[in-house]
Amino acid sequence: MSDPAGPRAKRPSLGRGLAALFGEAGTRLPGEFGGAQTVPIEAIRPSAFQPRRHFAESELAGLAQSIREKGIVQPLLVRPVAEGAADFELVAGERRWRAAQLVGLHEVPVIIRQLGDSEAFEIALVENLQREDLSPLEEAEAYSRLTREFGRGQAGIAETVGKSRSHIANTLRLLGLPAAVRNSLEQGELSAGHARALLGAPDPAALALEVVRRGLNVRATENLVRRRAARPKAAPRGRDADTVALERELATALGLRVTLAPKRRGGSVTVHYTSLDQLDRVVTLLRRQ
């Protein structure tokens, strides 16, 4: 679905809060089809522009209980679609839509708006940011998608979502971390502050393992990165560049420190782990081969 506003149209700032998205500030929203109305729940499909990937079962169960007792207090925001089995696509309110299905509701209140793809994505992103529903990587991937698919620059994204340009830039930089570090961030072993500190590290994957093992806070992580960056680099004895590069490649793939010890005939591979969960992950990977 194309964006009827066009790339040069002046876009409103959505960073004022969720109330602005639903017209609660007292102004009529452009493209709005009157006020809230009720539609069948099966007439709504989820959005391809939902930046959030994970919805916790406990979170949905709590919301479902609230809906049983009080109903859906705030309408869903949807846009009409011309193709497919559904009549509308969700823009904001997917948690409520999912929880309403758990309750068994047949109809839900909605506000219908004519929105292009870019604006629908931006509104879904702002809803999640306002409610702090997104992980740091989900937020970074959403900003990246706005840039790739809709040509939005960092200044434009910052104005739209109500964040500083430096926040947008620093969040996008998280996507440049090695896969092992991003995995630790996604699992909650590292915070966004840890991850930003590791961006300047000479070997982020190895340092991330040390940070998790030692339980370092963000300030201690920043100090560790500075010390390692200032340390003179000594060439490893008896180890060539290919061996070091392969160790790093394996460490990134496994999310663990790996040591290779080549010999005249063959050699050995050592995978270092600090918990049984890490060992289980390695065993699972090996069994898939």
Cβ-in-10-Å burial (0-12, 13-18, 19+) of 266 comes to exposed
Q: In the predicted model, what is the mean pLDDT of residues 195-203?
A: 88
Q: Is the pLDDT of residue 234 over 60?
A: no
Percent of the chain with pLDDT over 90: 26
For residues 213 and 222, what is the distance between their CA atoms, to the nearest angstrom? 16
User: Annotated catalytic residue: which of 42, 69, 89, 94?
Assistant: 94
User: Which pLDDT value is given to residue 108?
Assistant: 93
Sign of CA dihedral 103, 75, 147, 188: negative
42-71 residue pLDDT tens: 999 988 888 877 777 877 888 899 899 888
User: Which pLDDT value is given to residue 218?
Assistant: 93
**Confidence category of residue 220, pLDDT binned at 50, 70, 90:** very high
For residues 40 and 62, what is the distance between their CA atoms, to the nearest angstrom? 23
**Confidence category of residue 238, pLDDT binned at 50, 70, 90:** low
For residues 155 and 36, what is the distance between their CA atoms, to the nearest angstrom? 33
- 72-89 burial, b at 16+ Cβ within 10 Å, e below that, comes to bebbbbbbeeeeeebbbb
Domains of the chain, each with CATH number or no CATH: 18-137 (3.90.1530.30), 175-230 (no CATH), 241-287 (no CATH)
For residues 157 and 44, what is the distance between their CA atoms, to the nearest angstrom? 28
Secondary structure in 3-state letters for 73-96? CCCEEEEECCCCCCCEEEEECHHH
1-33 residue pLDDT tens: 445 444 444 455 544 444 544 444 333 444 444
User: Which pLDDT value is given to residue 9?
Assistant: 46
57 is known as an active-site residue = no
Query: Which SS3 state, helix, strand or coil, does residue 272 take?
Result: strand
